Chain A
Amino acid sequence: MNALVVRDLHVKINESHILHGVDFDVPSHKVTALLGRNGVGKSTTLKGILGLYPGTGSVQLNGQELIGMPTYKIAQSGVAYVPEDREIFSTLSVRENLALASRSKTNSEAFESIYQLFPELNTRAAQLAGSLSGGQQQMVAIARAMLNTNEILLVDEPTKGLAPKLVTEVADALAKVAEATTMLLVEQNLALVKRIAHHVVVMDQGRVIFQGGPENLDDPSWVHQMLGVSGGHK
């Protein structure tokens, strides 16, 4: 059973044709990693699914067509998003960032589970989010996406720019989150991908060139050919 089915997704930004008919599936209750070199359209794919960039083609969430819907309705349908560069609201406190994201008025259980997963957010609840470290900001971004009941979580490069210790913390949190939800993960850190992904989609030049299991990531020559990096180092 697939939670998300993407077919012939095209996205143009101004005059540039970025996605040229992207096709892939995201199985339910599994983690799907969307991989590829820089600039092949991975982040654009996530934004196209969420309607942040208008696209053509078909994106179905549990059978419901998302193309043409406004972004806020797509999010209300159960698509949560952890953007690249976090995009937390820096002038709001941590508590305000979370309160804004919560669409339910009686959501104390969700807040409790968030604070269990990220105790630091509880102690820093009154602090301005803009004054947090990169890792703490990433925790806010992930927590924000987990406050509501979602059908799928879109996560864009969650470990980008983080120190190695923080990468481990964020990876642990994502592994826990992945136990409970369907996830589409864009990530350059192959160790993290190998740890949590059940399914791999590889893109090149705005198209999908591979879909399959993550076992190929153990083959350095496959990794080098598909992703242009050394499998042993990333």
Chain B
Amino acid sequence: MDTFILIGITGIGLGALYFLIASGLSLIYGLMGVLNFAHGSFLSVGAFVGFWVASKMGFETSMPEFILAMIVGGLAAGLFALLIEQLLITRLYDRHIDQALVTVGVALVVGAVLGGWFGNDLRMFPTPMWFLTAIDIGGAKIPADRIVYIATAILLLIGNWALLKYTRIGLIIRAGVENRNMVNALGINVRRAFSTVFFLGGFAAGVGGVLVSVYSNGVSPLIAGTYLIYGFIVVVIGGMGSVPGSFLAAMMIGVIRQFANYYATGLGDFVVVILLAVVLLIRPQGLLGKVRA
């Protein structure tokens, strides 16, 4: 039973990391129709800036210092995302192939610059000692960092929900995901909402980058690629443009992958791909996605 709980909570923790990456991807695609392959570079920028801030605190950080590193990493990634949107994406709206090519280019350039600067080897991310402890849940010893991943994802989900539900920009984003042209026809410059979404998506990916670096035992430019693939899988299974859908799909994938890896010895990735194929066949719009007219 304790093994079952351990795998389950570890899976939810992994799902939380996937969600941090997928939430921005989903909103960016849902609102703007942009398949953003540069999203992994937002994760890398957040991870490296967070690493730089945490390193300034010493080899071991306190919890407030770690949170500060995470927020600064998130903000840096958000600003980087905004810069990419303003410099490149705004010129390519409704040119989907060009968008894909440019965002792939950004991902390659950022990966190469970071690799050239810091090298591709893992660098240990300074974390609070508390992360190395285990918390007893139902007899299972759960690594404390998993709780941080889950709490961060839940906070982000609540923040996202509150923004979308209670602010005018949130109203514009929700309407824009459904019908961008009609929002424009109401006299609203929907492109301002695009910039907000890019910043928020970048922020979430940056925070995710810091946590992914902790989970992966170090920061490296190579980590982003793997997590971006999972981010896309989550978005497709959850439904393009649906943040709750991304949350649900991320948790499902994290848990299923962990259980499959344990009980079917390393078949986690295979099972996730099968799940993706099944969802695409049965419900192509994703779990909580809407069919586009």
User: Which of A's residues lie within 8 Å of B, judged by CB?
Assistant: 50, 52, 70-73, 75-76, 81, 83, 87, 89-92, 96, 99-101, 103, 144, 148
Contacts and interface: CB of A to CB of B under 8 A. Distances in A.
Given A90-B178, A96-B171, 19 more contacts: A52-B181, A52-B184, A71-B181, A71-B185, A72-B184, A72-B185, A72-B188, A72-B189, A72-B190, A81-B185, A87-B179, A89-B174, A89-B178, A89-B179, A92-B171, A92-B174, A92-B175, A100-B175, A100-B186
Interface string B52-80: 00000000000000000000000000000
A81 B189 CA distance: 16
A76 B187 contact: yes
Contact of A100 (B181, B188, B189, B290): B188
Contacts of A75: 184-187
Contacts of B182: 83, 87, 89
A70 B184 CA distance: 8
Contact of B184 (A71, A92, A103): A71
Interface string B180-211: 01111111111000000000000000000000
Mostly, the B contact residues are helix
A83 B185 contact: yes
16 contacts: A72-B187, A72-B190, A75-B186, A75-B187, A83-B185, A87-B179, A89-B174, A92-B171, A92-B174, A96-B171, A99-B168, A99-B171, A100-B172, A100-B183, A101-B186, A103-B187
A144 B185 CA distance: 11
Nearest to B172: A100
Contacts of A99: 168, 171
Contacts of A101: 186
A100 B183 CA distance: 8
Nearest to B181: A52
A139 to B, nearest CB: 16
A148 to B, nearest CB: 7
A72 to B, nearest CB: 5
Instruction: Classify chain B: how many residues form its interface, as a range.
Output: 10 to 19
Interface of B: 168, 171-172, 174-175, 178-179, 181-190, 290
Contact of A144 (B168, B184, B186): B186
Q: Which 9 A-B pairs have the closest CB atoms?
A: A75-B187, A71-B184, A76-B187, A72-B184, A89-B175, A87-B182, A72-B189, A81-B185, A101-B186
A89 B183 CA distance: 9
A52 B174 CA distance: 20
Nearest to A147: B186
B181 A91 contact: no
A144 B175 CA distance: 14
B174 A91 contact: yes
A101 B188 CA distance: 8
A14 to B, nearest CB: 13
Contacts of B181: 52, 71
Contacts of A148: 187
Contacts of B189: 70, 72
A75 B188 CA distance: 8
Contacts of B179: 87, 89
A72 B188 CA distance: 5
Contacts of B172: 100
Given A72-B190, A91-B290, A100 B185 contact: no
A190 B129 CA distance: 78
B48 to A, nearest CB: 37
A96 B172 CA distance: 10
B238 to A, nearest CB: 16
Contacts of B178: 89-92
Specify which of B168, B184, B187 lies most central, judged by the most chain A CB atoms within 10 Å of its CB.
B187
A52 B187 contact: no
A50 B184 CA distance: 10
**Most A C-beta atoms less than 10 A away, residue of B171, B182, B184, B290:** B182
Contacts of B290: 91
Contacts of A81: 185
A101 B186 CA distance: 6
A100 B190 contact: no
Nearest to A99: B171
Contacts of B171: 92, 96, 99-100
A81 B185 CA distance: 7
A81 B182 CA distance: 9
